[in-house]
A and B are shown apart, each in its own frame.
Chain A
Amino acid sequence: MKALLLRDLKLAFRAGGGFGLGIAFFLIVVILVPFSVGPESGLLTKIAPGVLWLGALLACLLSLDRILALDWEDGTLDLVATSPLPLEGVVSVKALAHWITTGVPLVVAAPVFGVLLNLPPQGFVWLVASLALGTPALSVIGTFGAALTVGIKRGGLLLSLLILPLYVPTLIFGAELARRGAEGQDVTTPLLMLAGITFGVIALLPFASALVLRMNLR
């Protein structure tokens, strides 16, 4: 398991591994939004949490088809499936590696990007908290989507369409948490809902992912 995680991280950081992909996309969205909605700072402050969350979600979506497709193409998945590693563990590790290479940089970069969107000072803590809590769910759900579409050539579009509805609850409660935090309102409800979604999918989805992966390998 550890070997698989280390190998995935090593591959992500080497040339062509796609490590900067998500964060670069996030940066582009955040830089372009002020140009497109105009310089009115009140409006930017209002939409900042939502824009940051949407940017993070789309950045995450961008790299989903790399989670399993590359291992499928070079035959690694077949060989891993006949190895002592349980597939449930394999998909969990894959999701973890995706989160470390995509989710964590987004969480770290979000406060910097928040400045660009004129996010109020009290909002930074909750923005980081909501992303830190929400992005693991994005990676785990994304891995499920990748398992569903593995083996389909250029399945990126299908993957996005399948995954988007599953991302909606995380987006709603994540952005709501960040918004309420920025406006100084009570954050309990969205915080609990977001935590519930994340821990729920981490507990359940790896089993579903392993099941569909096993069927796709037949």
Chain B
Amino acid sequence: MILRVKDVSVARGGVAVLEGLSFEINPGQALIVKGPNGVGKTTLLRTVAGLQPPFKGQVEAPEEAVAYAAHSDGLKTMLSVEENLRFWADVFGQSDIEKAIQAFDLVELRSRLAGSLSAGQKRRLGLARLLVTGRPIWVLDEPTVSLDTASVQLFADAVRAHLAEGGSALLATHIDLGLDVTMLDVGPFRAKQGDAPISGYDEAFL
């Protein structure tokens, strides 16, 4: 379950934003991607998750091994915490949601509607979803947004346990999780022709 990124360029709206990126993540390892806003971290993560093809280069990941979590958690406000998790567990062919509920301290919230949760509680539920995917490679975009210190700690523990079990993770975050991981600053990989004044072209027509 090795994730390899070989000389990859990623594009947003048809314009390359990052180029010449190469890295490899082995089981038990995590890589944290850093860089200024708008540099293309999200685009890179979406590319690795397979949501968009790389502009150039290759992303080599085993089939159906990547669990992706983005800015929005994919929660249904009219379903309870438990129903939301149960749905994702069914989609990924898993049955155990208790571990995820315990790990992110959702026991007391389990029958509450997701719509009535606070932003931080929603985020915890969104992260608990990762545990019910049963997938070895986590690709997480700003996972700690709106989490308090205690919840960040819960998340760091979950990542640590995941790595200890032979999983791996690719994270874009600005917070120090206290993990022993490799950092990658993508700033220097900014594409030469990047930041072309093309942003917003699709809105202009609509």
Contacts and interface: CB of A to CB of B under 8 A. Distances in A.
B51 A2 contact: no
Contacts of B64: 84
Interface string B113-127: 000000000000000
A85 B76 contact: no
Contacts of A41: none
Contacts of B71: 75
Contacts of B69: 79
A152 interface: yes
A7 B78 contact: no
A14 B66 contact: no
A85 B79 contact: no
Interface stretch (B1-9, B85-93, B170-178): B85-93
B155 interface: no
A64 to B, nearest CB: 18
A78 B72 CA distance: 9
A17 B74 CA distance: 17
Contacts of A16: 78
A7 B51 contact: no
Interface in B62-104: 64, 66-79, 83, 86-88, 90-93
Interface in A12-45: 14-17
B196 interface: no
Interface in B21-61: 46, 49-53
A4 interface: yes
Contacts, number: 73
Contacts of B88: 79
A7 B77 CA distance: 12
A10 B79 contact: yes
A80 B51 contact: no
A82 B90 contact: no
Contacts of A79: 68-70, 74, 88, 129
Given A74-B72, A79-B74, A3 B52 contact: no
Nearest to B63: A84
Tell me whether chain B's interface is mostly helix, strand or loop, or mixed: loop
A74 B73 contact: yes
Given A7-B87, A218-B51, A14 B72 contact: no
A158 B79 CA distance: 30
Nearest to A1: B91
Interface centre among A4, A16, A78, A79 (most CB of B within 10 A): A79
Interface in A167-218: 217-218
Contacts of B150: none
A155 B205 CA distance: 12
Interface in B155-200: none
B204 interface: no
Contacts of A153: 206
Contact of B49 (A4, A82, A85): A82
A108 interface: no
A75 B49 CA distance: 14
Nearest to A84: B64
B78 A15 contact: yes
Instruction: Report the 10 A-B pairs with minimum CB-CB distance, sorted nearest first.
Output: A75-B72, A3-B90, A218-B52, A76-B74, A79-B74, A75-B74, A14-B78, A82-B68, A7-B87, A83-B91
21 contacts: A3-B91, A7-B76, A7-B87, A10-B79, A10-B83, A15-B78, A73-B72, A74-B73, A74-B74, A75-B71, A75-B73, A78-B72, A79-B74, A80-B74, A80-B91, A82-B66, A82-B67, A83-B91, A84-B91, A152-B206, A218-B53
Given A3-B86, A84-B92, A85-B91, 4 more contacts: A7-B76, A7-B83, A79-B129, A153-B206
